[in-house]
Amino acid sequence: MRYLVMISADEQTAQQAMADGDLPDFDAWYADLERRGVLQAHLGLHDSATATTVRVRDGEVLLTDGPFMEGREQIGGLVLIDCKDLDEAVEIAAGHPAVHVGQAEIRPVR
Domain at 2-108: CATH code: 3.30.70.1060
At residue 66, the pLDDT reads 75
At residue 87, the pLDDT reads 95
pLDDT tens, 4-37? 999 999 888 998 998 998 888 899 999 999 999 9
**pLDDT higher than 70, residue 62:** yes
At residue 40, the pLDDT reads 97
Give the per-residue SS3 of the chain.
Answer: CEEEEEEEEEHHHHHHHHHHCCCCCHHHHHHHHHHHCCEEEEEECCCHHHCEEEEEECCEEEEEECCCCCCCEEEEEEEEEECCCHHHHHHHHHHCHHHHCEEEEEEECC
**pLDDT higher than 70, residue 68:** no
At residue 93, the pLDDT reads 96
**pLDDT higher than 80, residue 67:** no
Domain boundaries, the chain: 2-108
Residues 54-72: what's their mean pLDDT? 81
Residues 72-99: what's their mean pLDDT? 93
At residue 69, the pLDDT reads 60
